[in-house]
Homo-oligomer: A and B are copies of this chain.
């Protein structure tokens, strides 16, 4: 994916945050700290969504980076907003081992002599507001693009769908937790598609294509590719969440099991004769390393690991197949095929 464009996205984000911080300084040091926390939350990621916007845009003949970069920034800030609000929902004070917005404001509140209730309020307030500010700028960056009415409308519709469907997926993810039985594989994959694949893959790719004034077919194909590859990524993430190497993924292999997360692994396992042996480990708050080892052995033995792997590979394969049309130029097809490979071939 184009490296120079990445630099432009970073520069644009830095410019935005520097301006916001300056403006915030009129409203006191806490508000400046909130913007610092928001910038921190937006940094350190892989900038997958900007890369997809720019890959689709350039790959379909787009040349005007003064349009593509703000569009890329819009989807990155949408992601930042979702991540921050997701952490509020999960009551997390950390992300990737570092204090997140709520974590930073917890420390700040304590340093200012807040009691427990006040500290909780500072943390929640900061995280909700930071998410709202990122979400607002995601909309604004797109709305400010100097486009004609029709093209702007199509981009606004893509952003609208991204927000609408992600909210549905996020809600489903939480309401699914009361299910006493493993969900069907179909329910698991449709929640993954809604919660992540649409806003992270489908929408950025389609938006880049719309901005490049690509054909209706090219736009449609990129949308399909995005949904499929997005699900392949998430299925692989769920595998890595149980079978991965924490030193490489940066993610504990106990959390998903302890939370009883409804993944495809669990769906498959639930339909096998080994489920009664596996079930006690799923959602066990105090699961030990040894118990996790047993659970992993059983998830292998019952075929759940292999089935999930195959499901991910099947999604990636169908994603690549979708690209098999002259509407997608060769260079773009190569870039996206590589992406599909990466979606399922990652460090375990």
Binding site for B on A (CB under 8 A): 20, 23-24, 27-28, 30-31, 34, 81, 85, 88-89, 109, 112-114, 118, 121-122, 124-126, 128-129, 131-133, 135-136, 139-140, 142-144, 146, 149, 152-153, 156, 159-160, 163-165, 167-168, 170-172, 174-175, 177-178, 180, 194
Contact = CB atoms under 8 A, between A and B. Distances in A.
A178 B146 contact: no
Given A24-B168, A31-B168, A142-B143, A178 B128 contact: no
Given A136-B139, A139-B139, A164-B23, A31 B128 contact: no
Contact of A135 (B114, B136, B175, B178): B136
A135 B132 contact: yes
Nearest to A120: B91
A143 B132 contact: no
B135 A143 contact: no
20 contacts: A27-B165, A27-B168, A28-B168, A30-B172, A30-B175, A34-B167, A85-B129, A88-B124, A112-B175, A112-B178, A113-B178, A113-B180, A118-B177, A121-B177, A122-B174, A132-B135, A132-B163, A139-B140, A140-B159, A140-B160
Nearest to A112: B178
* Copies of this chain, count: 2
Contacts of A146: 149
A22 to B, nearest CB: 12
Nearest to A78: B136
B121 A170 contact: no
Contact of A174 (B121, B136, B153): B121
A164 B129 contact: no
The 4 lowest CB-CB distance pairs between A and B, nearest first, are: A139-B139, A143-B143, A27-B168, A125-B174
A163 B156 CA distance: 19
Contact of A132 (B114, B149, B156, B167): B167
